[in-house]
Structure 1
Amino acid sequence: MILLILGLIVFLGIHSLPAFAGPHDSMKAKLGENGFKMLFSVISAVGIVLIVYGYGQARFAGYMPIYTPPIWMSHLVLLLMVPVFVLLAAAYLPGHIKKRTKHPMILSVKIWAFAHLLANGEPQSLLLFLGFLAWGVFDRISLKRRDVAAGGPVAVDMSHAVRNDAIALIIGLGIYVLFVWKLHEIIIGVPVIS
């Protein structure tokens, strides 16, 4: 469980850095834009590896569940997960979805974490998903403050909004179907539908 905790600290810590303008801007000034992005990417990758490895170790350590969700909860989770990949795709495709949700990637992380909290009661799952949910809430509040300080959110280019929304829907729903069908089992080791 130590590696999972360390991974969460590393990954969520570096992703929280932009909320602190002083240290963030100082690092960017010292390293330059590309150097900062490179360091950010390396630290993020290390964090992800630690999270995945630590979570995998904890899953097989035999921790007793803190709670056992009812079977029907898995159906609710399937429903809650439908918009997650659409929002993730919309973060990179300016359109109505991005404009209305403002920060679709953070919203997708919060929905993903909340949905998985409903379906998993083991200590390592609670740590992982509560960590990401708390980060999502913190980062959304931070972004709102940064948007206000900057004079409002960055304008979204709406010239291809309908096309981009359609692409986000197709990509997002396609990835959702693949995850339900097999990808979740291949990547995570747990089938969605058994």
Structure 2
Amino acid sequence: MLLLILGLLIWSAAHLFKRVAPDRRAAMGDKGRGIVTLGIFAGLALMILGYRMADGAFFWGRHPAMVGINNLLMLFSVYLFAASGLKTAITARIRHPQLTAVKVWALAHILVNGDMPSLVLFGGLLAWAVAEVIVINKQTEWVRPQPPFARDREIKAIVGTVIVYAILSGAHYLLGYPAFG
């Protein structure tokens, strides 16, 4: 569990570094990007290794209703990522679509994974996303995107969501984590 927690801390620190210590990050220049990227990948690797190695208490198991809710939340999460990149209409309603996607993704996974390692991993990433939103909101004012929003972008976001969701579901099956069972 220690590797998992260490990975979460490194991931969070690397992502928050620019917001928490902007002068220090700016002083690093372009070299800082590489260091932050290395921190993000190191945190991710430690989270994966730590999660796969971790043991812990088991509080609840998968339930068909929760699996269905999880899948709907996951579709919405993937859509938010796509919408963010394509600047669809929802980006005028949700200030941080990618961080909201992480929060929805984490919540979806907590619903169907009631063991301690899952609660630490997904709960930790949920906490990071909440903290990130708070820090960003305190530092910057939101300039809400204005309509009109291109219909073709919305179609691309929906098609992309379905494709990426299918790939993620297939990857879960290959890794032994059935998305529909």
What is the TM-score of this pair, normalised by structure 1?
0.84
CA RMSD of aligned residues (A): 2.0
Pick the aligned partner of 1:54 from 50, 61, 69: 50
Is 1:123 the equivalent of 2:111?
Answer: no
Query: What is the distance in 2 between the residues matched to 1:25 and 1:161?
Result: 38
Contact 1:16 / 1:139 at 8 angstroms: preserved in 2?
Answer: yes
Query: What is the distance in 2 between the residues matched to 1:35 and 1:161?
Result: 37
SS in structure 1 of the partner of residue 168 of structure 2: helix
Q: Which residue of 2 aligns with 1:174?
A: 163
Q: Which residue of 2 aligns with 1:145?
A: 138
Q: Which residue of 1 aligns with 2:12?
A: 12
Deviations 1:122-157 (A, max 9, x none): 11000001101111111112222222xxxx324648
Identity of aligned residues (%): 30
Deviation at 1:162, TM superposition (A): 2.6
Is 1:90 the equivalent of 2:90?
Answer: no
Contact 2:67 / 2:180 at 8 angstroms: preserved in 1?
Answer: no
Q: Which residue of 1 aligns with 2:97?
A: 104
Query: What is the distance in 2 between the residues matched to 1:66 and 1:160?
Result: 44
- Structure 2 residue ranges without an equivalent (≥5): none
SS in structure 1 of the partner of residue 160 of structure 2: helix
Deviates more, 1:87-96 or 1:4-13: 87-96
Contact 1:86 / 1:168 at 8 angstroms: preserved in 2?
Answer: yes
Contact 1:96 / 1:162 at 8 angstroms: preserved in 2?
Answer: no
Query: Number of paired residues?
Result: 181
Query: What is the distance in 1 between the residues matched to 2:152 and 2:72?
Result: 25
Pick the aligned partner of 1:165 from 146, 149, 154: 154
- Structure 1 residue ranges without an equivalent (≥5): none
